[in-house]
Amino acid sequence: FLSLVAEFCCGFFVILILGNFWFLAVLYLLWLYLDWETPCAGGRRSQWVRSWTVWKYFREYFPIHLIKTSELNPNHNYLLGFHPHGVLVAGAFGNFCTDPPFKNLFPGLTPYLHIMPIWFGCPFFREYIMSAGMVSASKESVSYVLNNEGGGHASVIVIGGAEESLNAHPGSLTLNILKRKGFIKMALKHGAHLVPVFSFGENELFKQVANPKGSWLRNVQEKLQKIMGFALPLFHARGVFQYSFGLIPYRQPIHTVVGSPIPVKQNLNPTTEEIDQLHALYLQKLKNLFEEHKSNYGIPVHKSLIFE
């Protein structure tokens, strides 16, 4: 969905340049230059955009549910690790970029969904995603959000990133997380409490062309991902009037479960050992969250998370 909107916005910008409104394009480029750092400085959210009626229908289509398992004190800042990435990241968008799901369950907390910086270079599209509460996934951006002295901010990071989308097959429980420790270091530096989040059903929205590790397709996808910064999973789902083929996601329920916070004491210069210890604790809490709730959402008893 976001890719389609981005393409439309870029196309509109090209029309301005080629048409009789090139001066508007020049003015926007000037604005882009002056506003370039905003995605790393908290963005520019709009309550009006986040409350559009279309988001209500978007959430009801699957439907998307947000499940609260513990209180999150708004006097603290939090770093929420979202799993898995899936193809669409529908649970993250529906719950953290639209109102009122998160707002009702966690009053006093403002969520910021961190996404790849490349998206903020797209004309006009950047204004839309910032208005929905999305900000850059850069270190500077995460630090800006978590530096709020009064608390009440929640950085939401899709830990597996674009690479994990290549594992987004129905039934897949593989998470790219063993080597991803930057979010742990950020939590320690800012004293932000860590919260594991698992979105059941995220990988069931699309069917992806078989791309096992070592296959020619997977090798090409991984090389392109390293070059462009984002992955290109080959996926399909249903159409508008038929269910055999199309790009509209399947109507599969998504249950995004927000776990209990892991208290983190601020440490401006954490050692590698301290980072590894907190990372191991986070993995255990994430695993416990999954095991505790998997039976509620159709996951067989014998299946468990796989960390890579």
- The domain total for the chain is 2
Looking at the structure, tell me whether residues 8 and 150 fall in a common domain: no
What per-residue confidence (pLDDT) applies to 12? 62
| N residues, the chain | 308
- The Cα–Cα gap between 14 and 143 comes to 34
d(CA 138, CA 186): 11
Task: Let me know whether 139 and 249 are in one domain.
Answer: yes
**pLDDT recorded at residue 227:** 79
109 and 67, same structural domain? yes
- Amino acid, res. 188: L
Same domain, 65 and 14: no
Write the pLDDT tens digit of every residue in 50-103: 999 999 999 999 999 999 999 999 999 999 999 999 998 999 999 999 999 999
| Shared domain check, 297 and 272 | yes
Which of the 8 DSSP states describes residue 181? -
Same domain, 262 and 146: yes
Is residue 56 domain-shared with residue 173, that is, in the same domain?
yes
Cβ-contact 121, 129 below 8 angstroms = no
For residue 182, the model assigns a pLDDT of 97
- Mean pLDDT for 4-33 is 73
Domain holding 216: CATH number?
Answer: 3.40.1130
User: What phi and psi values does residue 131 have, to the nearest 5 degrees?
Assistant: -65, -25
Whether residue 116 is found in the same domain as residue 186: yes
Q: How far is Cα 79 from Cα 261, in angstroms, rounded to an integer?
A: 9
* Cβ atoms of residues 262 and 193 within 8 Å: yes
Residues 167 and 18 in one domain: no
CA 231 to chain CA mean position, Å: 14
Residue found by looking up tokens 């290109």 in the block = 232
CA trace torsion 54, 59, 61, 66 (10° rounding): -170
Question: Could you tell me what percent of the chain has a pLDDT over 90?
Answer: 77
Does residue 281 share a domain with residue 238? yes
Give the separation between CA 132 and CA 99, rounded to whole angstroms: 9
Tell me what the mean pLDDT of segment 221-241 comes to: 83
Residue 142 CA to residue 186 CA, distance in Å, equals 8
Of 18-32, 104-118, 156-170, 234-248, the one with minimum mean pLDDT is 18-32
State how far the Cα of 134 lies from the Cα of 156, in Å rounded to an integer.
9
How much is the pLDDT for 78?
Answer: 98
The verdict on 220 and 285 lying in the same domain is yes
Are residue 64 and residue 131 in the same domain, yes or no?
Answer: yes
Helical (H) or strand (E) element with 272: helix 272-293
Print the domain residue range for 83: 39-307
| Residues 117-168: tens digit of each pLDDT | 988 988 888 999 999 999 999 999 999 999 999 999 999 999 998 889 999 9
pLDDT at residue 253, as a whole number: 97
